[in-house]
Amino acid sequence: MTLTSTEPATGKEIWTGSTGDAEEEIAIARKSWAAWASQSLSYRIETLRRFANVVRAKEEEFADLIAREAGKPLWEARTEVAAVIGKVDISVTAYSERTPQRKAEGAMGSKVAVRHKPHGVLAVLGPYNFPAHLPNGHIVPALLAGNAVVFKPSEKTPASGAFLVDCFHEAGVPDGVIRLLIGGPEQGKALAGSDRIDGLLFTGSARVGRMLALEYADKPHKILAIEAGGNNPLVAWDVKDIHAAAAIIVQSAFLSAGQRCTCARRLIVPEEGHEKLLDEVLKLTDRIIVDHPHADPQPFMGPLIDNEAADKVQDQYMKLMMKGGVPIRRLDRPQEDMPFLTPAIIDVTTAKDRPDEEIFGPVLQLIRVRDFDDAIAEANRTRFGLAASVLTRTPEHYNKFWASVRAGVINWNKPTNGAPSSAPFGGVGMSGNHRPSAFYAADYCAYPVTSLEAELCRATIAQGLRDPNSGKE
């Protein structure tokens, strides 16, 4: 069977490949990982630095492919490739900080040593919105720790995944140490459910993340790291510069056409006094260019990944209207047979039974509340817990927001999206399973081993033994 990838902006075919067999790829990785793990850390570091140089040499080619296959503007695809390159040095630093070797003095002249071992063969399931950067954020730390990897990219962006793996191989990572599994849900399920992997590193929807958590509930011997989405709140309260605040709101809601797990889904504002800020947001929203990735001038938004995704977002938007949501800026689809959507804002303050779900597209829900306590309560009215942000001139508001809101990323006067790779990234609730990635990825790519060490055997048993001379005359 074959898998074909098409450009969402044009519908043109750009890549075709054969679907693979999960067990075959795992078997190859399992044969290869021990030799890779036995190499010194400095050897693996230098190999991955060569990978960064390979990607750097192909930066424009890689960005062009990501832009065409994922539909994101070329300028944004370039930032993704830059993140792939930067991930190596960040991961090296993280590995030394998060998984260092330590020795301390123990009793009777012994030593207490703490070192880390790789798990073995790790599976990586990648998403389509960042087809290179997000899986790379798992792959580089996993390889650095000495694991072998079987990587299945999203069936919607296989070409970008294949390009990434080719760069690893060109840099000298052995073919058997990182394997590419092409396929759809069937291959993904086979990989995740295999008894021959030692763990799974997943980025994707909360629905799939929940299914994986249930599947791994009786497999405590396997590592599982889930990075899922969010119904992220952005509170705008007592802002000083409404122009800057409007820019932050628009970026939070509509970057990547709303196809970022950290995008703001809910804008929470005071019932009274929000009008000037909203007017500024609307003015800026109306200026957003929606076009194909290579258009001139460059667009802020490209298309969604495909028509199926666009259909779903339109359906979710219509459901909000049916529940009482009032459109402020309509969600339009200029071409019915193409996945381009215009940015939308809908007031759902009085909507009944608002669904707590992630709308993975350019839809921002406006919610008006009476006071700041209500704003915090509304921010927490979700089963997700990935990203949250508050725009305010008042430090006390931020301190209260930070202390009260349940999320893995909490920002002040900054967008909800764009988390730095030099810090941990992850969520709580339905947004993750307490395995933050980015700088903390080293934590789930190796496990600690504690050793009590002494050069000589020294031991006595002081209690609980019979006197050897008892009963003797």
Q: Indicate which residues carry an active-site annotation.
A: 227, 261
Token representation of residue 159: 């070409």
What are the distances in angstroms from CA 77 to CA 64, 229, 291, 302?
Answer: 7, 21, 15, 11
- Whether the Cβ atoms of residue 367 and residue 380 lie closer than 8 Å to each other: no
Question: What whole-number distance in Å separates Cα of residue 331 and Cα of residue 317?
Answer: 8
Question: What DSSP string runs through 27-62?
Answer: HHHHHHHHHHHHS-HHHHHHHHHHHHHHHHHTHHHH
Phi and psi, residue 261, nearest 5°: -65, -20
DSSP-based three-state secondary structure for 276: helix
* Best CA proximity match to 451, nearest among 104, 197, 163: 104
> What is the identity of the amino acid at 188?
G
Question: What whole-number distance in Å separates Cα of residue 241 and Cα of residue 370?
Answer: 21
- Whether the Cβ atoms of residue 222 and residue 388 lie closer than 8 Å to each other: no
Residue for token pair 């915090």 = 376
* Best CA proximity match to 438, nearest among 203, 206, 207: 203
* Best CA proximity match to 248, nearest among 420, 348, 390, 423: 390
* Best CA proximity match to 5, nearest among 180, 158, 129, 128: 158
Question: What whole-number distance in Å separates Cα of residue 164 and Cα of residue 88?
Answer: 14
- Whether the Cβ atoms of residue 265 and residue 231 lie closer than 8 Å to each other: yes
